Amino acid sequence: MAGGVGSRFWPVSRIAKPKQFLDILGTGKSFLQMTYNRFAKICKPENILIVTSDIYKDLVKEQLPLISDNRILLEPSRKNTAPCIAYACYKIKAECENANIVVTPADHLVIDETEFVNIVNKGLDFTKNNPTIVTLGIQPSRPETEYGYIQKSNVTSPITSDYKGIYPVKTFTEKPELSVAKRFFQSGEFYWNSGIFIWNLNTILDSFNQFLPEINQLFLNGLSYYNTESEDTYIRKIYPECKSISIDYGLIEKAENVFVLPADFGWSDLGTWGSLYENSEKDLDKNTVIGGQVILYNTKNCIVNMANKNKLVVVRGLDGFIIAETDDALLVIPRNEENNIRQIVNDVTLNKGEKFV
């Protein structure tokens, strides 16, 4: 899934080129490229589908030049994750009636790729043999309030007897208050919801039919169009009729056959400047500097991100700030106020126009 706009990473992430297409970490590869390469270790590259907005087709082709047009699924409008997953699953059904599928955002950080591959293969083996939905649960390292949580059940399931470390899900909780997150963290029963799902094609289509029948019927009706010249026309016709809803709220949280596979492979959704700061190298004063020719005086606990690697930047006397610059915009904001960035983007759009977003 590579269709988001990454507004919390403004001003670096913009509508024209959002986070998944950026080399925010300074590795020489975008998040999309790193995700594609990671999954090329799990399945054949021709079995990787990219679902994105139709305005990003050229960006995908530019960053993944070997991928065929038929592997890029273009959404004419943003309808959250359930429709895009339904689209991908029915396109897969037109090619393979019993496929095993992994769904992942294109913009997550995975540090230990060997462990990631092992975990995903374990989940694929489980869903291949059992009609279940598996979500990867990340071992929490802190009481985080910006992630959803999954509680594992202490009730054992017969189908997990041959799969040690996979548990039925008891509850889902979205972005709890800090006091609740602390209880979750201390209990040892809760995991961060990574948004990475594994299932067999028939299992997930049965669930779509049960919990999101209108969306399911729209994509089912187009089965004969997928992988033909009529596919794009059909998708453009039905997308306005799709309800905008997340796969979590519309399906995962309602299904009874959901299991969690706990994992610890150095994961972050890198959805905010704060998460980038937490996952980046720091100097002795706990500053992270990415790009630019930066000189810091009496400055600590800051993240400085410069798009222009040749620009000289001098910062003095700041503690705990985000400083992010592009050719036409500069953001300076306390790290503990970054939840206001989305509102800032809305205000910029209203007062200065869309060219800055």
The answer as to whether 1 is a domain residue is no
Strands (E), 227-320: 258-263, 267-268, 288-290, 293-297, 303-306, 312-316
- What is the tally of structural domains in the chain? 2
**Domain boundary residue, one of 271, 304, 337:** 271
Contact 157, 170 (CB under 8 A): no
Give me the CATH number covering residue 182. Answer: 3.90.550.10
Contact 104, 196 (CB under 8 A): yes
Asked whether residue 226 falls in the same domain as residue 280, the answer is no
Give pLDDT, residue 270.
Answer: 84
The answer as to whether 2 is a domain residue is no
Residue-number span of the structural domain to which 56 is assigned: 7-271
Percentage helix, strand, coil, to 5, in the chain?
40, 25, 40
**Domain boundary residue, one of 247, 271, 295:** 271
Asked whether residue 101 falls in the same domain as residue 126, the answer is yes
Q: Which residues contact 93 (CB under 8 A, 6 or more apart)?
A: 99, 201, 205, 223, 226
Asked whether residue 290 falls in the same domain as residue 168, the answer is no
The answer as to whether 165 is a domain residue is yes
Contact 99, 200 (CB under 8 A): yes
> Which CA distances in Å does 181 have to 108, 185, 271?
22, 6, 18
Asked whether residue 214 falls in the same domain as residue 314, the answer is no
Q: With 90 as the cut, is the pLDDT of residue 325 above it? A: yes
Asked whether residue 30 falls in the same domain as residue 165, the answer is yes
For the segment 24-64, what is each residue's pLDDT rounded down to a tens digit?
A: 887 889 999 999 999 999 999 999 999 999 999 999 999 99
Residue holding tokens 């960053």? 63
Asked whether residue 233 falls in the same domain as residue 257, the answer is yes
Asked whether residue 329 falls in the same domain as residue 248, the answer is no
**Domain boundary residue, one of 227, 251, 271:** 271
Q: Rounded to whole angstroms, how far apart are CA atoms 84 and 111?
A: 27
Q: Which residues contact 339 (CB under 8 A, 6 or more apart)?
A: none
Q: Rounded to whole angstroms, how far apart are CA atoms 257 and 80?
A: 23
For the segment 264-317, what is each residue's pLDDT rounded down to a tens digit?
A: 999 988 888 988 998 899 999 999 999 889 999 999 999 999 988 889 999 999
Asked whether residue 211 falls in the same domain as residue 231, the answer is yes
Asked whether residue 45 falls in the same domain as residue 179, the answer is yes
For the segment 232-258, what is each residue's pLDDT rounded down to a tens digit?
A: 999 999 999 999 999 999 999 999 999
Asked whether residue 323 falls in the same domain as residue 185, the answer is no
Q: Rounded to whole angstroms, how far apart are CA atoms 178 and 163?
A: 33
Q: Single out the residue of 301, 308, 313 nearest to residue 274, CA to CA.
A: 301
Q: Hey, how many other C-beta atoms are within 10 angstroms of the C-beta on 84?
A: 23
Asked whether residue 236 falls in the same domain as residue 348, the answer is no
Helix (H, G, I), strand (E, B) or coil at 271: coil
Asked whether residue 250 falls in the same domain as residue 287, the answer is no
Crossing angle for the helix pair 113-129 and 31-39, nearest 10 degrees? 60
